[in-house]
Chain A
Amino acid sequence: MKTDVVIIGGGVIGTAIARELSRFNINIILIEKEDDVAMGTSKGNSGIIHAGYNDDFNTLKGELNIKSNPKFDKLCADLKILFKRIGSLVIGFSQEDFRKLKELKENGEKNGIENLEIIRGPKLFELEPNLNPQAKYALYAPSAGIISPYKFTIALADNAVINGVKVLLETEAKDIRIEEKQVYGVVTNRGLIETRIVINAAGLHADEIAEAAGDNFKINPIKGEYQLFDKQWGNLVNHILFPIPTKLSKGILVAPTVHDNLLIGPNSYWVKDKDDPATTKAGTEEVCEGARKLVPNLPHQDLVASFAGLRADIEGRNDFIIEASKKIRGFINVADIESPGLSSVPAIAEMVSGILKEVVKEISPQLELNCQDDFVETLVEQPKFADYLDKTGEWQEIVEKDTDYGEIICRCEKVSKGEILRAIHQPLPARSLDAIKRRVRAGMGRCQGGFCSPKVLKILSEELKISPLKVSKKGPGSEILKTKTKEIIKETGVKFKDEVRV
């Protein structure tokens, strides 16, 4: 296989870069080791688009967040995903907190954010009636917003695929082939992909990829645990509520999600294993305790899910790495994308596009980077039954055209069979139960797939023309079912005959 550019990593960074570069008339392959995109940090994070007052404008973090924030309205409208600019409040309880809020505000204003405001007194509780009554001050940033980070990633990938990017799933980079300090290819579990340019967007594993190309940095994963509450509680708060930030993190927040759930988290601690997003009892307690400082009455009885995410961190470094390698031609690192990474996505992609132009000039001047005339910037809106509950007349027309939209598979999230079929056949198709869940929310609700997973499994089996035994939760090795009923007893039957087990 041969291509112009290989992007390693199907997180929000890799897919955003893929989409941005698909504007050009070049061949791009994105490889992802899991069975879907958004399988790492991009699915386990807060989904916040920050206003940009936290970091110094002289850092990439500060600059790219500020540049990106205003772009989200159009980008998300183009990609047909939800983005809600609900604003954020950093909550202060003491005089000292007040000073810190003032510092944040000043920094934000230096960064060019104009509408920051410090709120105090009754107005605070008008904005947030369920806020801890001991709260005294808040830094209000109206431009902060919420997004679904995995839906964003999938939409970016869909759009990239429509524009010609080839996404290879279950494809893991094992090595980078380098000859005379120039990239010549990526060795994967599926063979060699010849390329002169590699973009390392491997997230938590970016250090291992970089090492193969001779660049040295060490990523330490930081784990953050979250809890998600039932949809009836999304309106418990109206804004994203943060505590006063610390050096390590922006703290345990309380916020609604774009799908009206209530989200709390994350805590923040270093771990060794990059691939173990397990939740812990201590973490759960820490997250609850932290969140209760902001909102004392949390609906613990209506917990829908706990999850954890791991984010990349390089010790001693407090900024993104977005640069062409100084040692190897054709190798671009996009690493250490910690918070506010998600908030910086559009500007990161544009910056990488600029770097690519330089790299191309350097290594293959004959390759002319031109924008494709037929670049498709927008995705087509796909109807979701949950959005039509108060316009049933319009849904009736949809059902009349395609009866699959009249069969409700997921009762909790009100997802029709038509939507699930579409997810299986969209540009970046869903191949597993979790992939369906991320695309159309079947199984995401209060019963957590108890009722719909047998049905979704059956649909996947029929559409992909595979045995139900091959249908997985999240790729090979995570198959849901073990054997046909009767097979185990047939295998072990002989053993039972003489054994007195009863």
Chain B
Amino acid sequence: MEQNKIICISCPIGCRMTIQSKDGKITSIIGNACPKGIKYAEEEFINPLRILTTTVKVIGGELPLVSVKTEKSIPKRLLLKAMVEIAKIEVKAPVKIGQVIKDYLLGTGVSLVATRNIKRVDSNLFS
């Protein structure tokens, strides 16, 4: 038997739930105030997912960075690993909002896309 504690984020109550499991299968969930909690706890237990938002280096842009996000959620455990990969990326200005910066991030099938426009400038004194 294993126990995991999860705080529900479905509403401001923030129910503190305890999940009991055996061999990776949930046996009981307690502490939830409503059915939303059960759904959230199950998702968080089986495969917690997060949208990753960060920045990518831009060459020749009006700003040195462009803000980006993963188009879909990726497994939580990959967040820091993804950051290491993203740190290596450089993109040339101009960048358009929605532009795919990297396909198949860490083989997840999820793309990294720009969340803003960056204009091109001839020189950037601040980079």
Contact mask for chain A residues 488-502; partner B; CB cutoff 8 A; 1 contact, 0 none: 011001001100111
Q: Is the CB of A485 within 8 A of B65?
A: yes
Give the Cβ gap from B70 to chain A, nearest Cβ, in Å: 15
The size bracket of the interface on B is 10 to 19
Query: In the complex, what residues of A have CB within 8 A of residue B79's CB?
Result: 502
Q: Is the CB of A485 within 8 A of B55?
A: yes
Give the Cβ gap from A452 to chain B, nearest Cβ, in Å: 16
Give A467-489 interface residues, CB cut-off 8 Å to B. 468, 484-486, 489
Q: Is the CB of A489 within 8 A of B126?
A: no
Query: In the complex, what residues of A have CB within 8 A of residue B119's CB?
Result: none
Query: In the complex, what residues of B have CB within 8 A of residue A501's CB?
Result: 80
Is residue A462 contacting chain B, with contact meaning CB distance below 8 A?
yes
Expressed in whole angstroms, the Cα–Cα distance for A462 and B125 within the complex equals 7
Q: Is the CB of A490 within 8 A of B125?
A: no
Give the Cβ gap from A321 to chain B, nearest Cβ, in Å: 50
Expressed in whole angstroms, the Cα–Cα distance for A502 and B57 within the complex equals 25
Q: Who on chain A is nearest to B80 by CB?
A: A496
Q: Is the CB of A502 within 8 A of B77?
A: yes
Expressed in whole angstroms, the Cα–Cα distance for A500 and B125 within the complex equals 39
Q: Is the interface of A mostly helix, strand, loop or mixed?
A: helix
Contact mask for chain B residues 67-106; partner A; CB cutoff 8 A; 1 contact, 0 none: 0000000001101110110011000000000000000000
The count of residues in chain A whose C-beta lies closer than 8 Å to any C-beta of chain B is 15
Give B28-68 interface residues, CB cut-off 8 Å to A. 55, 57, 64-65
Q: Which of B64, B76, B87 contacts A489 (CB 8 A)?
A: B87
Q: Who on chain B is nearest to A501 by CB?
A: B80
Give the Cβ gap from B87 to chain A, nearest Cβ, in Å: 4
Q: Who on chain B is nearest to A458 by CB?
A: B126
Expressed in whole angstroms, the Cα–Cα distance for A462 and B123 within the complex equals 13
Is residue A325 contacting chain B, with contact meaning CB distance below 8 A?
no
Listed A/B pairs (11) with beta-carbon separation below 8 Å: A462-B125, A485-B55, A485-B65, A486-B57, A486-B87, A490-B87, A493-B87, A496-B80, A496-B81, A496-B83, A496-B84
Q: What residues make up the interface of A, taking CB atoms closer than 8 Å to B?
A: 458, 461-462, 468, 484-486, 489-490, 493, 496-497, 500-502
